[in-house]
Structure 1
Amino acid sequence: MTKEEYLDLYERSLKGDCSPEELARLQQYEDDFCFSDETHSDEILKEKIYNRLSASIAQEENVKRMFPWKAVAAAVAVLLVAASGFLYFNGHLSQRNKPLAVAVEKTPVLKQDIPPGTNKAVLILADGSEVELNKATEGQIAAQGNTTVNKSGNGQLIYQLADKPQTTSLAVFNTLAVPRGGQYNLTLPDGSKIWLNAASKIRFPIQFTDKERMVELEGEAYFEVAHNPQQPFIVKVKGMQVEVLGTHFNVMAYTDEATINTTLLEGKVRLRNDRAAEVILNPGQEGVFTGNKGFKVNKADIEQVMSWKNGYFIFNDEDLTSIMRKISRWYNVDIEYSGGTKKLSFAGSISRFKNVTEVLNMLALTGTVQFKIEAGKITVIH
């Protein structure tokens, strides 16, 4: 079987279009996906897999533009197993000198499927009334004081001030709540743009009248803040805040995550916690806040952090439980574990707009994990 035939069969297998004979051929194919035991060094394995795939696979053009070095993984929809995944699989070989085969395993066909998330959110106005934005028509959907609220296109909410903003000492707040299985784009009255990920919420004033432009975030959002040195922009999250003048950054502050991660793309930000500790981030850095342990600054993986906004899942040696939390939010599905939560890590890339079975099949192809879908729940089987 040529590699072209292999790729064609693989793509068809993900869609459930293969005959039993074709599936058997697919499962027997190893060829260049086989390495001897002496190459079990984690980095050597990953490098060899990448080099062999990149030498033989035509790269998908839209992926190549966005993520050049990850294009192979996305093009073939094969998940490259990272360090602990290899070690887990290798630990179950009966003979230590037996070649390690990174090939298509017998993966059960998932009979149920779940579509990806869409542009949907609920806008909660100052008087407590709610507007389901995915059901609202385009154009003006509300007027509050001197501010109009407009839905412009699918997934975009824009706040606009009159030419002469009103002066008031009382701040009036709105809240944009994005459920699981949703995302939405918000433009604030000062021109700052915010992209909200699934299961996220942001509270903000309809007009910035204070010395600071302050918003409150739960979940994850990417910010492009309009520059205004006279009025710093502050994002408040649980236990800390991000202070900026005008810059581009991402904040991940889900309540079910152990840390709050702030990643800076452009400009400069200051992170403060409730105990007055602070750190300054420069572009390409990530500030990790862990409650009582304070801040830690790391080099950021910008592609992975921004993948959700760019329409992709990108996993770089990412823990399985972390991956499943992302799947839970985006596909609006509960996760259950059968057999415990063993330490497995994966690396790879796939569009967020695939049905959940295609994402799960990629993970299952490693042979380290299986899944079952029923009644809006995914069971992870080790």
Structure 2
Amino acid sequence: MENNQPALQQLLQKLRNNTASAEELALLQQWLGREAIEDELKQLWDFVPQQQPFFSEVASERMLGHILENEPAAIMPARRRSRGYRVIAVAAAVVVIATGWWLVSLKQDKPVSSAPVASTPVTSAVIPPGGNKATLTLADGNTIILDSSNYKTLSHYGAVTVVQQAGALAYQNHQRGADSVLEAYNTLSTPRAGQYKLVLADGSKVWLNAASTLRYPITFTGAERKVILTGEAYFEIAPNARQPFVVATENTQVRVLGTAFNVMAYTDEKNIQTTLVSGKVEVQTDNKPARMLEPGQQAQVIRASNTIEVHSADMEEALAWKNGLFYFNNADIRYVLRQVARWYDIDVEYAGTLPDRRFGGKIARNSSLNDIIRILELSHIHCKTENHKLIVMP
């Protein structure tokens, strides 16, 4: 042990920082196969500093707990917890933690194989995660491709200058409060595997998730500040009681004065969700009575019945994408993979009938698709990739 201690300390540092490679995970897995590992692992874990802000101190201790104490239903049934099975569970938990995942099957019906989980063949091509990229469509129909480039001026509209700066698009209004330009609209669109930040002419900020579109006026000159959203976006609205801000989706309007909230309105999801972080918003569908939200609440517009349901929100889940995470709470596999498909720009195909299983957990969105496939394999969801398509098998 002492001869290997420096290398193992370095490996645990990478584990904490979410930078361990597949080869390094295999090395750790070999070490985990030894007897009496728990005290040694605890000593090394306490010795290794945590340099990355991704995990809090509490989460870091929980991470170690998952490695050491996860008798977990997520990895094997409650019965037959022999030492050999425990080592397998620990090894699986390490792979889960090292890739950033806390994904567990909430309904497990068979134990995992004793084969090394890190050696599961996935795909020869590594599909990277998404990043800052979008397309800006100007009022005259011309388009501009946006990325993470440094500052540059893109266009001028009267007193408004449109600039790109480090993965964000900003409308700088040099005569705020004045009708500095005729009403004209721009559209910001993110592809699958893209996201982008937008600062509107009134100072409001918008973070646009993958496969989303926002249509908005260059300046807000009417009685309200209205934008049209498809997909998902997080908003921080500049207060203006005389000119309310309105987010319109296909059949829902969210009306605010100044607040922070998230709207998820993907057309392939059953519901439109509005989650309020601070302030107050009013959610309305068609001509039905509006519902007022308090911070920490979520309104779901049920597409099938065109009704609104309001309940307490899982804020970590609702805001995970903006915070660089996937986060799932009792989600079915199709919902999980719809999010994965948007972020990695892949199509998902289902071969056969999948088990009725629910999932909970989280992963950093900067993980590769291969990492996600490995974790799905731990829950007996078998996948392969072909020509940018993810094929899911029972």
Please give the range of the TM-score, normalised by the shorter of the 2 chains.
0.7 to 0.9
TM-score by length of 1: 0.79
In structure 2, the partner of 1:45 is: none
How far did 1:338 drift? 1.3
Q: 1:337 aligns with which of 339, 347, 350?
A: 350
Whole-Å Cα distance in 2 between the matches of residues 158 and 67 of structure 1? 37
> Structure 1 residue 371: deviation in Å?
1.0
Give the Å deviation of 1:290.
0.7
| Number of the residue aligned with 2:201 | 189
2:106 corresponds to which letter in structure 1?
Answer: A
Contact 1:319–1:344 (Cα < 8 Å) also in 2 = yes
| Gap change, CA 1:149 and 1:338, over 3 Å in 2 | same
| Partner-residue secondary structure (3-state), 1:209 | coil
Partner in structure 2 of residue 43 of structure 1:
none
For 1:276, the equivalent position in structure 2 comes to 288
Determine if contact 1:13/1:23 at 8 Å carries over to the other structure: no
CA contact (8 A) 2:11 2:24 kept: no
Q: Which has the higher contact order (CA 8 A, sep 6+)?
A: 1
* Cα gap change, 1:221 to 1:19, in 2 (>3 Å): closer
Distance 1:271 1:67 in 2: 36
| Aligned-partner residue type, residue 302 of structure 1 | M
Q: What SS class does the counterpart of residue 360 from structure 1 fall into? A: helix
Q: Give the residue type in structure 2 aligned to 1:17.
A: E
Instruction: Percent identity, please.
Output: 38
Matched residue SS, 1:358 = helix
What is the aligned partner in structure 1 of residue 104 from structure 2? 81
Give CA deviations for 1:24-48 in whole Å, capped at 9, x if unaligned.
Answer: 858979999xxxxxxxxxxxxxxxx
Q: How far is 1:68 from its partner?
A: 3.8
1:17 and 2:29 are equivalent in the alignment: no
Corresponding residue of 2:141: 128
1:140 to 153, 169, 175: 153
RMSD after superposition = 3.8
Give the TM-score, by structure 2 length: 0.77
**C-alpha contact 1:60 1:75 (8 A) present in aligned 2:** no
Rounded Cα–Cα distance in structure 2 between residues aligned with 1:307 and 1:201: 19
Aligned pairs for 1:330-369 (under 5 A) are 330-366=343-379, 368-369=380-381
Gaps of 5+ in 2: 67-95
1:209-248 alignment, distance < 5 Å = 209-248=221-260
Match status 1:207 vs 2:219: yes
How many Å separate the matches in 2 of 1:126 and 1:284?
37
- Given the alignment of the two structures, is residue 299 of structure 1 paired with residue 320 of structure 2, yes or no? no
Equivalent residue in structure 1 for 2:53, among 50, 62, 72: 62
Question: Could you say which residue in structure 2 is the equivalent of 1:318?
Answer: 331
SS of 2:328's equivalent in the other structure is strand
User: AA paired with 1:62?
Assistant: P
| Structure 1: stretches of 5+ with no match in the other structure | 33-52, 94-99
Counterparts in 2 of 1:105-124, with a 5 A limit?
107-124=120-137
Give yes or no for contact 1:112–1:374 (8 Å, CA) kept in 2. no
Give the aligned residue type for 1:89.
Answer: K
Alpha-carbon distance in 2 for matches of 1:174, 1:70: 47
Q: 1:322 to 1:69 in 2, by over 3 A?
A: farther
Q: CA deviation at 1:8?
A: 5.4
SS of 1:63 mapped into structure 2: coil
Q: Helix, strand or coil: the match of 2:183?
A: coil
Residue pair 1:64, 1:71 contacting (<8 A) in 2 also:
no
SS at match of 2:136: strand
CA distance in 2, matches of 1:117, 1:344: 27
Match of 2:91 in 1: none
Distance 1:55 1:272 in 2: 56
Q: Is the 8 A contact 1:113 1:373 kept in 2?
A: no
Shift in CA distance, 125/17, structure 1 to aligned 2, threshold 3 Å: same
User: 1:312 and 1:210 mapped to 2: Cα distance?
Assistant: 37
Assess if the C-alpha contact under 8 Å between 1:70 and 1:349 holds in 2: no
Is the 1:123–1:177 contact (alpha carbons within 8 Å) kept by the matching residues of 2?
yes
